[in-house]
Structure 1
Amino acid sequence: MKTKTIPLIALLSLSLAACSSQPAQPKEQTGTQQAPTPAVQSSTATTAANQPTAQQTTPTPQKSVKTNRIPATVVSVTDGDTLKVKMNGKEETIRLLLVDTPETKHPSKPVQPFGPEASSFAHQTLDGKSIEVEIDVSERDKYGRLLAYIWIDGKMFNERLLEKGLARVAYVYPPNIKYVDQFREIQKKAQKTGVGIWSIENYAQEDGFHSETAKNTTTSTPTPKVQPKSEPVKVEVSPTPSGSGEVYYKNCTEARAAGAAPIHEDEPGYRPALDRDHDGVACE
């Protein structure tokens, strides 16, 4: 029998196949060892673990409401709705937002009813005081004045003018309308009670103050007139016929009109002719 010769290439292929079938031996570790990777928890388990129990829940502290009020000091009061203040190191003129008080210093208008009262109230409340200035959206008017709400001792001065009937809601121009709704509610209450400007019929209107309607109206309660006491009518006494100047009454009617009756015998004006019963008393 002839022996079959296996080609060399076939033998090499068999050897390589045998080597690849053997399990891979771990390599020798050198250098720094890496920490084993922790097992990944399921999403459900992770979520449950991160949820605090009712006892563990800590309430989030409420943040204080930050206002946009600017500290200032009142330098002077011009009238009920205008003043000068010192703020941010300089002097500013402020026109109160959404309110209008009667005029006291208008160049072409006379002093209007309740204008002096509004100005006096502003002086008493604001002169030299520390205040807070709240700006709405638009800062200034066409005259360069700051448009603002004024706060003093935690109360808004604009509202106090409306409460006392010393101002009306006016100059409502968006976007500066932050408090317009509550201002109108305050004004309604003042109108119902008839306080201040609302005590004069048709005086404060949508287009301003109409002083002509208040010409014959006073802001104070009229003082009742005291009726004079009735006095006896004085009648000029006729002189005696002889012209002696003694008191002489033609008759008892004249004596009574002069307040002289009855006339006793020893009194001026007595005449026996007036004493009918001759008892010494005339015009009884």
Structure 2
Amino acid sequence: MKQTLQLTVWLIVTLFLLSACGTVSSNQSADSSHATTTSGTTDKVEVSLIRIVDGDTIKVNYNGQEETVRYLLIDTPETKAPNKCVQPYGKNASKRNEELVENGKLELEFDVGQRKDKYGRLLAYVYADGQSVQETLLKEGLARVAYVYPPNTRYLDSYEDAEASAIDAHKAVWQQDGYATDKGFTGCSLEKNDDVSSDVETEQSDESATNFANCTALRETYPEGVPSTHPAYQQKFDRDKDNYACE
């Protein structure tokens, strides 16, 4: 009788320990799964717009400081890059970007990877009144999916879907085969010379000098600084690499 009782107690204890181990193992498994699917945050931070730079870059007031924001995962045709022409649909993308970011509350969302690029620009997903600016530009054919550097790929799938819809509809940059490529956009706008020359003539009518020793001298003539398309622009004056000197 005594042996039977001891055996019964031993079986109960064994069953209890096995059950406890199974619970711990299950909890550990659940925690591990949770960790792999929720890394990073989708919290958004509100910022105020200072100005747009081009189709995929803006300047904002973030935490009390002026910061340049480069949009994650997209690329738009050039309008201000040094030593590059104005590309087709570049001005369209800049104008549409301006329309979007000036529309209501402006927010940034960061991914799990680095928050700044080698030029010191913030890398973020941008929202205007809750609407994804990147996704809108892609859907309208004014941008391509580009600069995909893991782990900053949270919305890559949805962006590629948006791009695919624009390709299927032959919108904007996708109207001409070979213009938008994996390495960027090819070709220059036919309007480039007329647009630039008219701007330059207007600006030079008041001041013929275009070479300045430093930003202090340049601001005496151009208080707000100059874009890269201006004859007074010098790359050494563009410390934040936003294609705008001495701003």
Query: TM-score when scaled to structure 2?
Result: 0.58
Instruction: Tell me the secondary structure at the aligned position of residue 211 of structure 1.
Output: coil
1:167 partnered with 2:143: yes
Q: Give 2:83's match in structure 1, choosing from 108, 112, 116.
A: 108
Q: In the alignment, which residue of structure 1 is the partner of 2:172? A: 196
What's the secondary structure of 2:158's corresponding residue? helix
1: CA distance between counterparts of 2:47 and 2:146?
Answer: 25
Q: Deviations over 1:21-54 (max 9, x none)?
A: xxxxxxxxxxxxxxxxxxxxxxxxxxxxxxxxxx
Determine the structure 2 residue equivalent to 1:124.
Answer: 99
Q: Provide the C-alpha distance between the structure 1 equivalents of 2:86 and 2:49, rounded to a whole number of angstroms.
A: 24
Give, as a single letter, the amino acid of the residue that structure 1 aligns with 2:54. Answer: D
Greater than 6 Å deviation, 4+ residue runs: none
Query: In the TM superposition, what are the counterparts of 1:252-267 in structure 2 within 5 Å?
Result: none
Tell me how far apart the structure 1 counterparts of residues 51 and 104 of structure 2 sit (CA, whole Å).
Answer: 10
Q: Which has the higher contact order (CA 8 A, sep 6+)?
A: 2
Q: Does 2:83 align with 1:144?
A: no
| Equivalent position amino acid for 1:171 in 2 | Y
Query: In structure 2, the residue corresponding to 1:139 is in which secondary structure?
Result: coil
Q: Hey, what's the Cα distance between the residues in 2 that align with 1:215 and 1:188? A: 27
Question: Secondary structure of 2:168's partner?
Answer: helix
1:279 maps to none
Q: Distance in 1 between matches of 2:92 and 2:99?
A: 11
Measured against aligned partners, the alpha-carbon deviations of 1:250-278 in whole angstroms (never above 9, x if no partner) come to: xxxxxxxxxxxxxxxxxxxxxxxxxxxxx
How many residues align? The count is 150
The Cα shift of 1:67 comes to 3.8
Match of 1:154 among 105, 130, 136: 130
Deviation at 1:68, TM superposition (A): 1.6
1:129 is displaced (CA, Å) by 4.7
Partners of 1:140 and 1:192 lie apart in 2 by: 33
Q: 1:120 to 1:152 in 2, by over 3 A?
A: same
- The 5-angstrom pairing of residues 40-119 of structure 1 reads 67-119=42-94
What is aligned with 2:155? 179
One-letter amino acid of the structure 2 residue matched with residue 130 of structure 1:
K
Q: Which runs of 5+ in 1 are unaligned?
A: 1-65, 217-284
Is the Cα–Cα contact under 8 Å of residues 103 and 128 in structure 2 kept in the other structure? Answer: no
CA RMSD of aligned residues (A): 1.8
More helix by share: 2
What TM-score do you get using the length of structure 1 for normalisation? 0.50
CA contact (8 A) 1:99 1:170 kept: yes
Identify if the C-alpha distance between structure 1 residues 128 and 186 changes in structure 2 by more than 3 Å, giving closer, same or farther: closer
Deviation of the 1:130 alpha carbon: 2.8
Q: Deviations over 1:92-130 (max 9, x none)?
A: 110000000000001111000000000011112223853
Q: CA separation in 1, counterparts of 2:129 and 2:102?
A: 14
Aligned-partner Cα distance in 2 for 1:206–1:67: 28
**% of aligned pairs identical?**
45
Checking the alignment, whether the CA contact within 8 Å between 2:42 and 2:110 is kept in structure 1 is no
Contact 1:150 1:158 survives alignment (8 Å): yes
Larger of the two Rg values belongs to structure: 1
Q: Which residue of structure 2 lines up, in the alignment, with residue 32 of structure 1?
A: none
